[in-house]
Amino acid sequence: MRRLNPGLAALLGCLLFTAPFNMLATENSVSNDAPAIEIYTDPALIAFMQSVVETNPRVQAARSAVEASRALESAAARPLYNPEIEADYENAVDDTWYLGIGQTLDWTGKRKARGRVATSDRLAIAAQYLAVRRSVTVELLSGLALYQTGKERDALAAERVRLMYDFENLAQQRLDAGDLNQVEADLATLSHTDAQIKKATAAANLAEARQAVRNLTINSTPDQWPSIETRLPLIPANANPQELVLALPEVRAAQRRVEAANALVQLREREQRPDPTVSLRGGREDRSNLVGVTLSIPLYIRNRFKFETSAAAAERDQAQQIADDLIRRAYARYISASERYGYSREAWQSWEQTGQVSLQRQGDLLQRLWEAGELSTTDFLVQLR
């Protein structure tokens, strides 16, 4: 029987950390140049992952957020003030009327500052969109790994039931022949029962693994799910942990939020400076033509808008601290995942080279010793486990 190597979980833990969404991010609207240690090349797996991720509600919701941020960016790029038209008519000794048009000037560059805030927000939301895609990808790959491992464990549990059944029958035959006492025969029966319980547990775990995949893909059956490569490659020696961490979408999103907060501080500073309004009027009074120009500037005396700027600066500092903490924890996770993967890979290679063959040979030897009466049933079961 082909056995799924236990290093698969460690492999996924390390490789998925380095953003496998490279193989899935096909949106032209969102750039993604994050490096990856391993990119899956199985066409069936790639097609399955793309179909599931693209139709996932969380991914679609994140994509809608990106579209909304684009619209807000376009809105922020529009002029800040609209012109005003004024008309007046007075019927007194002399009839007087005039028409005027006024325009508030963006003297301090608020429009440009608003645009920078909206652009930073859009980039942050785009990075968050990639983070959602990566999260769904990791969840789906982990579910497939659990299902693939669960199938192997269920098959091993079924094999264990068969072996314990044969062992129970053989023990009964030896009991009937007088070569085995009742206690040891009962122990063989209990071992068979224990194997059946373990088989039920393995079947329950397999059902949970199937649910983990069905949570993301309800329109497919287990026979349509692709398998995951169980080969354990080396981590490239030239892998730069700092670059890999900074390329993570959640880290990029945090950095973009810092940029957006910094742009908001600049906007609040510009909002502390008033913008003038210029109006041009023309009309007629009795038989005389009237032409006038008006300039008005608001006086920021009662409210200088300083507290809004202070609040924006504090929020920028908060965003920076959150980003720094996220980078530190991501770097620690990467180092830990790399170490675990290296240990698991070495252990599995050692098992494949020597352990598996030695274990099979030892099992055959134990059975011959028990059948020859040189090993008690209790010792046989203890060593066999």
User: What pLDDT does residue 17 have?
Assistant: 43
User: What pLDDT does residue 41 have?
Assistant: 66
**Residue-range domain boundaries for the chain:** 8-384
d(CA 73, CA 234) in angstroms, rounded, equals: 44
User: What pLDDT does residue 326 have?
Assistant: 94
User: What pLDDT does residue 39 have?
Assistant: 54
d(CA 39, CA 19) in angstroms, rounded, equals: 9
User: What pLDDT does residue 324 have?
Assistant: 95
Tokens describing residue 201: 């547990």
CATH architecture of 8-384: Up-down Bundle (1.20)
pLDDT in tens, 179-224: 778 888 888 888 889 889 999 999 999 999 999 999 998 788 888 8
What's the residue count for the chain? 385
d(CA 343, CA 331) in angstroms, rounded, equals: 19
User: What pLDDT does residue 19 have?
Assistant: 38
User: What pLDDT does residue 2 have?
Assistant: 40
> Which parts of the chain have pLDDT scores under 70?
1-41, 355-357, 385
**What residues contact 131, with CB distance under 8 A and at least 6 apart?**
248, 249, 250, 253
- Please calculate the CA angle 364-358-362 and round it to the nearest 5 degrees: 25
Contact 216, 48 (CB under 8 A): no
